Amino acid sequence: MHRKIRKKRRVCKSCKTRFSGRYCPYCGAEYGQRHSLRTSGFIIVLLRFLFSVVLLAFLLFLAFASLDYVASVGNGSHTTAIAIVSSVKNALPKPFLQAYLEFKLSYLDFLFPKIIHLT
């Protein structure tokens, strides 16, 4: 006698779709389970987030330093750059501004004039 094999019916925990089989046909969740972050996944996500923050800070620093040099050349003709730089300098905490000025004096003053004169 032939017995009919019935697949187990599931309810997806993510989207509440009823289905049978391994993957939810609506959202693709395996066995209808929500995805959970494992320990290694969490560390990778955290490292990617921290890398993004460091990269963004570096890009903002480059943009600010470029604007600072643009504002310093041209005898006050670059008024927009001067306004942006002065408002950022007012917003920055004193220790950050002091560290930037020291970094500018020791490293950037050698690099940026060469870059500006080349272009």
Give the residues lining the site for Zn ion (CB under 5 A): 12, 14-15, 17, 24, 26-27, 29
Shortest distance, position 98 Cβ to Zn ion, whole Å: 55
Long-range CB contacts for residues 109-117, cutoff 8 Å, separation at least 24: 112/65, 112/66, 112/69, 113/69, 116/69, 116/73
19 or 112: CB nearest Zn ion: 19
Cα separation of 33 and 14, whole Å?
7
14 or 66: CB nearest Zn ion: 14
32 or 81: CB nearest Zn ion: 32
